[in-house]
Structure 1
Amino acid sequence: MKQSAVIKGLGFHVPERILSNKDLEQLVETSDEWITSRSGIKTRHVVSEGESLTDLSHGAALKALDDAGLSPEAITHILVATFSPESYIPSAACALQDRLGLRGRVAYDISAACTGFLYALENARAILALHPESKILVCSGDVVTSRVNWEDRATCVLFGDGCGAAVVAAEDGGPHRAVIRDVSLASDGALGDLLTIRGGGSGRHYRLGEPIGEDFFVQMQGREVFKHAVRSMTEVCNGLLERHGLTTDDVDMLLPHQANLRIIEAVGKKLGIPGERVFINVDKYGNTSAASVPIALSEAVHGGSVQPGQRVLLTAFGGGFTWGACLLDF
């Protein structure tokens, strides 16, 4: 019998600094009207000098642990989904372990871009299948603005920074936020060139003192990404629901990756889920990559948009390409 996994606690943390569309008008040739009409984004939170992913993941982790009623010492595994760790070595998970004052835990990073939270949840479920006594801290976030070209108005207006966290454990009859009913994941590396950050990787060797190039930053073919994102998220959601004999009528809320309002609305429309059952907070945070889904989930739960007895469908799409869906029963 498959071990049931539950989310015992949720939390998120974003930087204090807020960058509005009006602020961006002073940085790049753009306007509030242009940004809002194309993305639905009004503000985004961005790190200040010296602030890193470790700061954001630590803040999110403490809130999720408090929500779960657990101390850091109870955690056996730390998973961090990100493409923007504070450093390549040590990993983001090891850095977070140290910040939490822990030693000897299993700690590793997961790289799946904006789909990172769903990939991490599936990893957590797999761990629990082998070690049901585990208490797993999942942190999913990015400092996207560390890899944004502020001279490229097509991309720099879209992104913000943040981290979301969940404490995942085996169902034991105790209090929990949600049961992870199932997860479905997919990827297609053949489409990877449509959304990239190549600079800084082993395929691009930099010499000391050499200026970085445009490939160090997010580069995206927006129209193609839009098309693949909508199709992939729609298909994976339908497939997951079909696997359980469900339809979108059985879903109380669709909570998609908060990349762009047009993408969110297109996915909801293709799935036949009306707007009042689609959670949206992209206007406040922008596209926070791996943090997008857990921030939205935490905000929806703690804000009362999700109630006990409801079913929530998560879905995300990210560079790689990666995509996935997850069914949660509250």
Structure 2
Amino acid sequence: MYNSKITGLGYYVPDNVVTNEDLSKMMDTNDAWIQERTGIKERRWIQEGSEDTSAVMGAKASRIAIERAGLTPKDIDFIVFATLSPDYYFPGCGVQIQEMLEMRTVGAVDIRNQCSGFVYAMSVADQFIKTGMYKNILVIGSEFHSGGLDKTTRGRGVSVIFGDGAGAAVLSRTEDNTKGILSSHLHSEGKHAEELTVLAPSIRHWVPKILEENDENDESYFPYMNGTFVFKHAVVRFSEAIVEGLKTNNLQAADINMLIPHQANLRISQFVQKKFKLTDDQVFNNIQKYGNTTAASVIIALTEAWEKGKIKDNDLVVLAAFGSGFTWGSVIMRW
């Protein structure tokens, strides 16, 4: 059995910074209200007229990750792309990456697991490498939220949270079973699917029906979140996923050198940090700058933590996420 390890990391966020003060000019909100509930100070939103899309941002992050891995796009054997905001309803963004980076005709798969998308994507890539099927896999998380948010007072509970951005990792084969991904753990609970969702458009609410309606006031086209309900489940499932990963590898919370939680809400991260008695040096958060970038949040945070020198050789790194579905999971790795 082979093992898989990260050999290259990269991220990209749009230049356009949107502060809480900027949002207060669009809707009835203010900086104190947003920071108290989410911890977010600013986020990045793609400007109108920009070339950026989920696929384009993913390609930009991927080029950085591939170069840092010491590879070229021709060396990539497979693509796993996680997003809830693809450029098209179909096909998925993975095939666009194959074309944008002028790769060989490698396979591409898209992961639609929202906030836990990157954790799921890493698990999928890890299994392909462990079985010996592929040697170098490009794993991407990218989101273009700003184009689909209700930027009025009606939608402020959701729209103040989300930002745009992308991150990418190259996962490569290694024969050293003491390094790389030690285990991954995935879960779902579909009975809560409509607690965090976009109900339409969908196959049940498709183009002819949309065209017939005056949909300007149809809230189903915008993200809906039962915030308190989601929060209560998130803090439980985050903890469960981390404990499961540690137990599988006979580790303790004290062994964690760096926890990278999905950047959903700073209050969730702080709750988990306190529960596991981790110091500020053991947890990395950047939601203050970027908001919740859903499938991109874990990989952007992981890349930033590594760039800042907070992750070193032989460190135990834990990735954990929870989100719509509900889906949640963790990845335990030795750097």
Category of TM-score, reference length = shorter chain = over 0.9
**Residue equivalent to 2:85:** 84
Query: Which of 321, 327, 333 is the aligned partner of 1:316?
Result: 321
Q: Secondary structure at the match of 1:305?
A: coil
Question: What do residues 166-187 of structure 1 show as CA deviations (whole Å, max 9, x unaligned)?
Answer: 00111157xxxx6111111111
Question: TM-score normalised to the size of structure 1?
Answer: 0.95
Question: TM-score normalised to the size of structure 2?
Answer: 0.93
Would you say the 8 A contact 1:132–1:169 is kept in 2? Answer: no
Would you say the 8 A contact 2:197–2:225 is kept in 1? Answer: yes
Report the number of matched residues. Answer: 325
Provide the alpha-carbon RMSD of the alignment: 1.4
1:16 CA displacement: 1.1
**Residue equivalent to 1:137:** 138
One-letter identity of the residue aligned with 1:259: A
**Cα separation, 1, equivalents of 2:307 and 2:207:** 45
Q: What percent of counterpart residues are identical?
A: 38
**Residue equivalent to 1:49:** 48
Would you say the 8 A contact 1:238–1:271 is kept in 2? Answer: no
Q: 1:307 to 1:148 in 2, by over 3 A?
A: same
1:314 CA displacement: 1.1
Query: Which of 163, 166, 170 is the aligned partner of 2:169?
Result: 166
**Cα separation, 2, equivalents of 1:89 and 1:254:** 34
**Residue equivalent to 2:298:** 293
Instruction: Map residues 229-308 of structure 1 onto 2, 5 A cutoff.
Output: 229-308=234-313
**Cα separation, 2, equivalents of 1:122 and 1:255:** 16
**Cα separation, 1, equivalents of 2:214 and 2:132:** 47
**Residue equivalent to 1:327:** 332
1:103 CA displacement: 4.1
Question: What do residues 267-322 of structure 1 show as CA deviations (whole Å, max 9, x unaligned)?
Answer: 11122223332111110000000000000000000111112121111100110111
Would you say the 8 A contact 2:78–2:134 is kept in 1? Answer: no
Unaligned runs of 5+ residues in structure 1 are: none
**Cα separation, 1, equivalents of 2:73 and 2:53:** 20
**Cα separation, 2, equivalents of 1:125 and 1:211:** 46
**Residue equivalent to 1:37:** 36
1:266 CA displacement: 0.8
Q: Secondary structure at the match of 1:272?
A: coil
Pick which of 112-121 and 129-138 moved more: 129-138
1:74 CA displacement: 0.6
Question: What do residues 190-228 of structure 1 show as CA deviations (whole Å, max 9, x unaligned)?
Answer: 111110011121121243364432111110000000000
Would you say the 8 A contact 1:265–1:275 is kept in 2? Answer: no
Instruction: Map residues 4-23 of structure 1 onto 2, 5 A cutoff.
Output: 4-23=3-22
Pick which of 208-217 and 274-283 moved more: 208-217
**Residue equivalent to 2:200:** 199
Q: Secondary structure at the match of 1:60?
A: helix
**Cα separation, 1, equivalents of 2:256 and 2:150:** 38
Unaligned runs of 5+ residues in structure 2 are: none
